[in-house]
Amino acid sequence: MSDNNRHPDEMMEEYDFSTGVRGKHYKSWRAGHTVVVTKADGSIEQRHFTLQDGAVMLDPDLRARFPDSESVNMALRSLVQQG
């Protein structure tokens, strides 16, 4: 399939993740991460990212059951109403 007909979320054929390790950077990513961008003019920009206030990261086994904010909020509201 040519790139023009490819869905935006579809991987390109030349991507090879066969030697990848699942979860390799999981803990450090959750703690925060730094992105370094080298711009066309040669300057370098460095930014540190952490979870935003109010942001919550779901473990992989929960993502299938709670795919979006609405489903998470509904589940939490039902727990709060019970208590």
57, part of any domain: yes
6, part of any domain: no
Put simply, whether the predicted model's pTM sits higher than 0.75 gets the answer no
Number of structural domains found in the chain? 1
CA–CA separation, 5 vs 62, rounded Å?
Answer: 32
- CB distance 68 to 56 below 8 Å: no
CA–CA separation, 70 vs 49, rounded Å?
Answer: 24
CA–CA separation, 48 vs 29, rounded Å?
Answer: 11
13, part of any domain: no
- Share above pLDDT 90 across residues of the chain, in percent, rounded to a whole number: 33
42, part of any domain: yes
pLDDT band at 12 (very low <50, low <70, confident <90, very high): confident
30, part of any domain: yes
| Domain boundaries, position 61 | 26-82
21, part of any domain: no
Three-class secondary structure of residue 80 per DSSP: helix
78, part of any domain: yes
